[in-house]
Chain A
């Protein structure tokens, strides 16, 4: 340990003098309460430290000690199903209030360990030496920590051990030994190593029609959802956390509401994972640095979360990280930078904002792990642009680093049209690689249908502008038919309430059914107006209401009802065109 004494302090930044070698990014313990801090700069005999907790009462002369290691988090089998603060300290074991100076206490909780190696096995870092299967969580691997490798000279038998109990000893080629436990530490600002990057294949399936069918995200991909307040970022993040087909969800509430975290904690244990039939909470890790918690720890919370996510990826799992909201993280960077007196760039943000964002999104990937398995980490970041202005720095930089951009629109949200993703402002660069997914699920015409839907929505926007001047009735029937089709795509397909028990999740099969029926409707109505049948008459068909409500009316286990719906649609159209023909003759 190296020591220093405080010279100057204001808010969460302090300067301390020392003759000892401190290192940048080294963790420091500050004052008599041993508050957690991090060295952010060194100038001669002076170190500048950012403190992650309330600094009240600190004063010149107070001691600071360096721990010698970078800001690190404790990664082990106890993470799943629990909630932590931005520095990965468990919140469940704290009191009513978050008190400063609450260090991580070694937990006495034990986990069932099963070795997967024998004495003599050669292990390199990142490989698996055993498994843990808690009754209340997924089976997890125990990984050899990154700085360790060698031959197994001792391995504990299957049994219950605490996370930090040494259960395996390796002898390095140099002869020295290292003892490893189920849990290990990893510095948060350093990406965990992988064997190689793999090309993306297949989606992170979300069960949300507007995402999977229109703006899909590849597994291991990067998406951002910008939107003003109340447009549905948090609900969408939570919806993805609930229904997407990842093995593990890391949900970080970064500078957001305490009640939302409480809501997740309340709701997830009661919801069932659609694939496993187990409570959703068992696959979830929550990291909460709410808006009223210290700002410096908010900056760290994003790194903490992505490190935890990488830890599960390294066990060969599909991991999804939801970050709500990355803007609060950027603002924390700005606040700290301001306190350091750095030269501000755009909107007061430091000039390195963009490269920090790039580093963060870069940690999303589809990889081969050091253990030779396939793992992935998909990152979905919410962005909260001031005044919902997408030209601000955080949104514009984010746009450069993500492949899916799900723009949330206030007008849609105000009409309670959810998810309020604007189909013309959003995009997905992953769509092309996902053709095979839809083909395998039985819809080879997905690319064409998707293109058609998007084209109709684009035409709708143009025609509505025109209708505003000349009146809707003045448009020719073919254009009115476009408006009706686009309206149906919106109402029947894009709208999907997160709170509807039947519709909150939509399987690939159901998405295909709905997409097909709507495509068929577009064909039928295009043909009908040639008869000619008025668009008004089509809109008055009883089937219209049923089509608009099919998402909410037809549940996953009622697929047959789609056949009924299709048949009824066909016969109503036949009748309509027949009577048009009779009238004409």
Chain B
């Protein structure tokens, strides 16, 4: 009878991340496995394939030093689970949900499958609650709403961590009912100091007791990186949909996640798609990003702010490309702006918030907010176009109107993109109107006559 949940000495081979076992136990596909050794922490894995004689286990950890003789394999009889409870906040976990802050184990009230379940699209509530981040380029031009997944597309060495920390600290809901909030931070293959900086920032702003940290550091197993966002999101879903909190999940760096995915796929002999990444990377990333949202009749929400560093700053690389196809927009950081000391160096043209239209304007922020954003976009796009002309024919070779746009572009970057401290939406909007006032009214075609009268012609004292 195949009923035992342990297999001792059943291993017949190891190949890359795959462990082959004689089928001495009756287990099901995708069920979790723990490989226990005489020394050290156990390794996690799951049943990846089954036939009558062989169990193929995918080890979600390095298989280095694993021996066949004394591996003892424990089968969980279900998918990888994570036990969570109210006291996960303020705690630090490793990349696979084990407490590493020296404190007591969390007292769990619920246990969830770390892969989650797809939210029924018919049960999703449309996200409409505007979040004020204090960052002008986000608030007026790429607004974030609760339940959105809005990644930061960055490059190595750019200040994406600062920006994420700032958003985590400054974000507030305008008006009433702020509700209970929480922050979940998932470090995926990043150096210790990045994680530490985040922890420190949360501590100094007094938000640490509302934060749960999941750390898979650069020195940790790379295959475990595939699990870290899933443990973090399981905690976040619990906080959001069981406890009813508004949860912000920061995941950095998704590029490391994708690299790990490529590594595992290669060792399976999966036919690579673009740049060696597996064809299923889109679906795999979707199972992470689609866990953002809010649900009808449930008070909480789960907002995601994943960070990724674009290899060679290339936005067409499969990692940002597939991410952009799944997420609800992207905030793109730019090396040239960064070099010019503009902070935050947000490159507004390729940035986008797809949910902005649902959370701004009349009844949400300010009736003229969308028009202002559109006009700023149109004018800045023209400025960037004129810059290209100017680089060949020089400023003198430009028509008068084009010179105005050239200046507009510079001012836009210096005065609106660049900011030393947080701005309220009103302050951001005023800065936007101010910039537009130097352009002739005939060119401001995204504003209606009423808006021209109110904000452009009638200059406030």
Contacts and interface: CB of A to CB of B under 8 A. Distances in A.
Interface string B49-68: 11110001000000000000
B316 A292 contact: no
Contacts of B374: 416, 497
A471 B393 contact: yes
B378 A416 contact: yes
Interface stretch (B103-111, B305-313, B318-326): B318-326
A252 interface: no
Interface in A277-291: 288, 290-291
A570 interface: no
A57 interface: yes
Nearest to A95: B120
Nearest to A31: B28
Contacts of B392: 468-469
Contact of B283 (A61, A258, A335, A470): A335
Contact of B402 (A59, A389, A472): A472
Given A56-B30, A347-B273, A499 B357 contact: yes
A257 B292 CA distance: 11
B270 interface: yes
A496 to B, nearest CB: 13
Contacts, number: 216
Contacts of A295: 280, 283
Of A59, A468, A469, chain B has the most CB atoms within 10 Å of the CB of: A59
Interface in B257-314: 270-274, 279-280, 282-283, 286-287, 290-291, 293, 295, 298
A545 to B, nearest CB: 5
Contact of A58 (B28, B48, B328, B389): B28
Contacts of A59: 26-29, 50
Contacts of A473: 397-399
Interface of B, secondary structure class, is: mixed
Nearest to A547: B445
A472 B295 CA distance: 54
Contact of A258 (B29, B124, B357): B124
A417 B385 CA distance: 14
B370 interface: yes
Interface in A468-496: 468-474, 491
B120 A94 contact: yes
A24 to B, nearest CB: 23
B293 A258 contact: yes
Interface stretch (B84-92, B244-252, B346-354, B409-417): B346-354
Nearest to A92: B122
Given A295-B283, A331-B282, A97 B381 contact: no
Interface residues of A, number: 80
A544 interface: yes
A55 interface: yes
| B123, B370, B378 — most chain A CB neighbours (10 Å) | B123
B125 interface: yes
Interface stretch (A3-11, A159-167, A191-199, A440-448): A3-11
Contacts of A542: 442
B6 interface: no
Interface hub of A417, A470, A472 (most chain B Cβ within 10 A): A472
Given A10-B48, A414-B381, A230 B286 contact: no
B69 interface: no
Interface in A378-417: 384, 386-389, 410, 414-417
A526 interface: no
A8 B31 contact: no
- Say which size band chain B's interface belongs to: 35 or more
A91 interface: yes
Given A257-B328, A259-B126, A262-B125, A553 B448 contact: yes
B122 A57 contact: no
A556 B326 CA distance: 36
A10 B120 CA distance: 25
B441 interface: yes
Interface string A1-32: 00000011111000000000000000000000
Contacts of A58: 28-29
Nearest to A553: B448
Contact of A57 (B28, B49, B370, B381): B28
A188 B419 CA distance: 56
A157 interface: no
Contact of B118 (A230, A266, A292): A292
Given A414-B350, A540-B442, A98 B31 contact: no
Contacts of B56: 10
A539 B326 CA distance: 42
Contacts of B118: 97-98, 258, 290, 292-293
Given A56-B28, A291-B326, A545 B441 contact: yes
B326 A348 contact: no
Contacts of A259: 124, 126-127, 147-148, 293, 328, 355
A262 B290 contact: no
A7 B52 contact: yes
A60 interface: yes
Nearest to A498: B357
A519 B313 CA distance: 44
Contacts of A257: 290, 326, 328
A417 B26 CA distance: 59
B369 interface: no
Contacts of A94: 120, 122-123
B449 to A, nearest CB: 8
A552 B448 CA distance: 8
Contacts of B122: 83, 91-92, 94, 261-262, 265, 288
B378 A549 contact: no
A103 interface: no
A280 to B, nearest CB: 16
B79 to A, nearest CB: 6
A468 B272 CA distance: 42
B119 A471 contact: no
6 contacts: A59-B26, A328-B282, A338-B271, A417-B381, A540-B442, A545-B441
Given A98-B118, A331-B279, A540-B442, 19 more contacts: A7-B52, A55-B30, A57-B30, A58-B28, A60-B23, A83-B121, A91-B120, A91-B121, A95-B123, A255-B282, A257-B326, A258-B124, A259-B127, A292-B283, A386-B274, A387-B321, A415-B381, A474-B397, A549-B448
Interface of A: 7-11, 54-61, 83, 91-92, 94-99, 228-230, 253, 255, 257-259, 261-263, 265-266, 288, 290-293, 295, 328, 331, 334-335, 338, 344, 347-348, 384, 386-389, 410, 414-417, 467-474, 491, 497, 499, 536, 539-540, 542, 544-545, 548-549, 552-553
Q: Which 9 A-B pairs have the closest CB atoms?
A: A415-B381, A291-B286, A10-B49, A57-B28, A387-B316, A262-B124, A97-B117, A261-B121, A471-B397
